[in-house]
Amino acid sequence: MFQTFRQAMTWLHTWFGLLLGFVLVVVFFFGSLSVFDREIDRWAIPESRFAPQPMPSFDRVLRPVFESMQPSRESVDLMRDRVNGPMPEHFDVVRQWSAYTTHRDPVLGLFAGYEVPNAKDPEEAVWGERTIDPRDGRVLSDDHFKIGSQFFYPLHYSLTLEWREIGYWIVGFSALMMLVALVSGVVIHRKLFRELFTFRPDKHQRSVLDLHNMTGVVALPFHFFFAFTGLVIFAGIYFPLTETQLKPLHDRHERIEAAETGLPHDRAGVAAPLASVDAMVAEAQRRWHARGMAGDVGFLSVQHVGDANAYVSVYRAGTDRIALTGEGIHFKASTGELLREDPPATTVDSVNEFLTGLHLQHFRHWLLRWFYVLGGLTGCVCITTGFVFFVEKRKRQHARQDSRGARLVDAMAVTTVTGMLLATLGILIANRLLPETSPDGWPGRGDLERYVFWGTWALAMTHAFWRGAPVARGERNPAWREQVLAVGALAVLAALLNWATTGDHLIRTIRAGYWPVAGVDLSLLAGAAIAFLVARRLARRTPPRARTEPAHV
């Protein structure tokens, strides 16, 4: 079929790149936004705009909140057909309480898992979730949608397609093909080093290809490692051996591990009180300090709450290194007696922790965070220029042959690139405009915000296809320029609405040094400036053969 290896690689790169590029550009863009997910949360929830807080006192602040919690209605509903008999009104047996925070979180997320009586699989639990202000324990409304960490971030790894975890599989397959595209791209390229710094603007197709090659090559280590580590993180989903063939072994291993570590796997069935958790935290911090490590608590959990077998685990927030480690220390909940200190990681574990930590970024390093955004955005430019090159190379030929291929691909490219930006701005604007609580009978505020996101995207798609006729004649789709202009306008509008609805304009946030909100506003304005520059370039009268690059992002 192919005369040379390079031809085969070109075919592979072109077609898989095109098909999965539509997924990958979404993954790259929302991945870039997820680097600052907590900061976007601050922008979206004005009442949480205060400085990050350490883990508060368990005994005084967390315990009363945990004790008042119950599983969420959604979680109970999901469980309903997996029990023999009816579900109870009230869940009394708490399997786990946990609290999680990072060095970027002002508010604190609390989670509680409950045993379900008569569950078909007794391992299953129902879950409840709360967000509190750690300074006083005040509970924040569940309807306040964390757009960054609860929407952009899940979009990045699962496209929020939850049905049968299909989203994870699509993203995983795309990541695998991304690795293929990188390798085949390097094979096709030939002048990898000679053209590393080559960008020739105003050379039409050549410029697009230059930009594609350059953004692909300079960030090659980034692209490679992020696609690869993304797969490592979800290896358990892609190879669910411990849930399928090896389930008996897995369960046995859990029990043996419990026996070895002294951390009980099951409840004893005997009630017991909970000693002071604050004292255990203080002891854990003393032990970390003795090992020369920063001692902020990142994750705190109580297992088998209320039982004689209950134990408390305290994990460190690993802000000072890449590896995602916790150096967990575990105590008997009823007495505060030390049960176990996690030993130093083995080599395999260390490699795994480094790889997952590299991707999940718990570290405290603002420059590296911004470098990650840069890496992600170069990925977007690389994929976008790939689309544009695909269309430019074919559209005149398709016009002659009366084929619709180029028009279709071009409209899809407009949809995924500028349409995605519009949808992102749409949800931010909806967040600022929707009333604090939805009227009776309406979906919740968070749901409405999501509908605006998908609605905007659908509108952008309609627009892209409706305006696509010129491509079939070998010309440019005016939707590119129109949507880029809309991106610019909406980005400015979003920043202005933040000012109008919260009073937090840039002068105030910068003067107060409140960078989470100032940073989002500045990024919106910078994005708007780039959008207007790109729109101006796209407006330049160019002969049909000459097309400037529309890729920005």
Partner 1 sequence: MSDGVLLLAAWLAGFAGMGWFALAMETHWRQACSEAAGPPAARLRAAGTIALTASLALCLYVDHPSMAALVWVMSLAAAALAVAFLLSWRARWLRVLLFGKPRN
Which residues form the interface with partner 1 (CB under 8 A)? 194, 196-201, 214-215, 218-219, 221-222, 320-323, 354, 358, 363, 365, 367-368, 371-372, 374-375, 378
Tokens of 449: 């915000």
CB 481 within 8 A of CB 410: no
**Least distance to partner 1, CB of residue 530, Å:** 13
CB of 176 to partner 1, least distance (A): 22
Strand partners for 257? none
Cα(417)–Cα(384) distance, integer angstroms: 7
The tokens for 144 are 């306040």
Nearest CB to partner 1, comparing residues 366 and 442: 366
**Identity of the residue, 113 or 376, whose beta carbon is nearer to partner 1 in the bound complex:** 376
Place of tokens 């602040």: 61
Decide whether 225 or 514 has the Cβ nearer to partner 1.
225
Per 3-state DSSP, what percentage of the chain is helix, strand, and coil (rounded to 5)? 60, 10, 30
Residue (100 or 225) nearer to partner 1, CB: 225
**Cβ at position 503, least distance to partner 1 in Å:** 30
- Classified as helix, coil or strand, 174 is helix
> Least distance in Å: CB of 316 to partner 1?
14
Min CB(295)–partner 1 separation in Å: 16
Using the minimum distance from each CB to partner 1, give the nearer residue, 164 or 194. Answer: 194
In DSSP terms, 130 is beta-bridged to: 110
Closest separation between CB of residue 485 and partner 1, Å? 24
Structure tokens at 511: 């003067």
d(Cα 369, Cα 295) in Å, to the nearest integer? 22
Q: Please state the closest distance from residue 341 (CB atom) to partner 1, in A.
A: 22
Give the DSSP letter string of 112-153.
EEEE-TTBSSTT-EEEEEEEEETTTTEEPPTTS--HIIIIIH
Choice between 198 and 437, CB closer to partner 1: 198
CB atoms within 10 A of CB 239: 10
Q: Closest approach of Cβ 191 to partner 1, in Å?
A: 11
**How many CB atoms lie under 10 A from the CB of residue 430?**
22
Q: 166: which 2 tokens?
A: 């299909």
DSSP secondary-structure letter at 204? T
Residues 542/199, Cβ–Cβ less than 8 Å: no
Tell me if 95 sits within 8 A of 114, measured CB to CB.
Answer: yes
Identity at 353, one-letter amino acid code: E
Nearer to partner 1, 119 or 374 (CB): 374
- Indicate the residue among 227 and 305 with the shorter CB distance to partner 1: 227
